[in-house]
Amino acid sequence: MTLVNAVLQGIFLGAFYAVLACGLSIMFGVMRIINLAHGDVAVLGAYIVFVIVEHTGVSAFVAFAAALPVMVVLGYILQLTVLERSLKAGILTPLLATFGLSIVIQNLLQLTFSPDVHSLGGSAGVVTTSSWQVTSGLSVSALGIVVLAVAVLVFGALQVFLSRTRAGWVMRATAEDADAAELVGIDSRSVYARATAIAVAIAALGGLFLGIRSVFDPVSGPTQLIFAFEAVVIGGMGSLWGTLFGGIALGVAQTLGAQVHPQFAVMAGHLLFLAVLIVRFGGGRAVLPGVRRALLLRTAR
């Protein structure tokens, strides 16, 4: 039963990673930008929610709804001021630019909010603490259900947007061939800005969940980025549903790893990530025959 419980908790944890990874996946899929500031953008979102909660006393969820337009505008500004310019200078420049942006965001947060840790758990109401005991070894937390439901909803909504709406087709067309898209009358600049705005808004959602499930401080971003990045790679870069699956696979690997030893949790996730990297990027062809040969030798003896 503990194993079933571990997998279940892993799915809930993975849904959180998937929400974090979603924006990263969109930006890579549409613009081929790996946004190294993605984790920091999520943390920035958590801080904005935190400020609204502190000043008005509303629930974290209400505060998030208020923070959403701010994040969308920030996304537009980020694209039009930083990313668009860096995209023109080749594929490495956005990587450097977002790395710099990551440092800038961390230091601005440090300067404004001090290095103290904060949490949104207290302002999220009963969701933070409620849970249901299914059987003796199996309990389901309300927050886990909420995160999983929201994750499925977000990915589902994106799927509908990309496959059913004209704006979604235009985004896919631009992602596939921006030059040809321009030639049929699509303004790739505004499509890119829209994609970044969506990515930043969903990153803030990840920040909200991070703040509710645990604590955050100005330098929490990079850790979140690593998990988000692993989720994207495990699921297949640029694939939307793959990212949801990748996040859940990462979460399950971590909770199963924790069954072996509590300190092995994060390591198990990294190992899954490495295994996927080796298999997907041709390394499998180099490594697997060696493994097979070793196994054959053993059976031959």
Partner 1 sequence: MTLLTVESLDCRYGLLQAVRGVSFEIGQGETVALIGANGAGKTTLMRAVAGAHRPHGVFDGIDITRIPAHRRVALGIALVPEGRRLFPGLTVEENLRVATSRRRGRWNVKSVLEVFPLLQPRRHVAAANLSGGEQQAVAIGRALMSNPRLLLLDEVSLGLAPVVVDAVYRSLTDVIREGATVLLVEQDLTRALKVAGRVICMLEGRVVLEGDAASLDRDRVVRAYFGLKRPA
Chain positions contacting partner 1, by CB under 8 A:
166, 169-170, 172-173, 176-177, 179-188
Helix spans in 57-141 (H): 60-78, 84-88, 92-113
Which is nearer to partner 1, 86 or 174 (by Cβ)? 174
User: Which CB atom, from 186 or from 266, has the smaller least distance to partner 1?
Assistant: 186
**Cβ 192 to partner 1, closest distance in Å?**
13
Helix, strand, or coil (residue 33)? coil
Q: Which is nearer to partner 1, 125 or 238 (CB)?
A: 238
* Least distance from partner 1 to the Cβ atom of residue 170, Å: 5
CA dist 96 and 34 (Å) reads: 10
Closest approach of Cβ 72 to partner 1, in Å? 23
User: Closest approach of Cβ 178 to partner 1, in Å?
Assistant: 10
Closest CA to 211 of 59, 27, 78: 59
Half-sphere exposure of 71 (CA within 13 A, CB side): 31
CB-nearer residue toward partner 1: 125 or 168? 168
Query: CB–CB of 27/228 below 8 Å?
Result: no
Q: Using alpha carbons only, how large is the chain's radius of gyration in Å?
A: 20
Q: Which is nearer to partner 1, 32 or 172 (CB)?
A: 172
Give me the least distance between CB of 18 and partner 1, in Å please: 22
* Nearest-approach distance from CB 190 to partner 1, in angstroms: 9
What does DSSP assign to residue 301?
-
Q: Which residue number, 54 or 187, has a Cβ lying nearer to partner 1?
A: 187
Q: Closer to partner 1 by CB, 183 or 300: give it.
A: 183
Residues near 88 by beta carbon (within 8 Å), at least 6 away in sequence:
none
How far is it, in rounded angstroms, from Cα 146 to Cα 128? 10
The least distance separating partner 1 from the CB of residue 78, rounded to whole angstroms, comes to: 22
Distance linking the first and last C-alpha atoms of the chain: 39
Query: In the 3-class helix/strand/coil scheme, how is 122-171 assigned residue by residue?
Result: HHCHHHHCCEEEEECCEEEEHHHHHHHHHHHHHHHHHHHHHHHCHHHHHH
d(CA 134, CA 137): 8
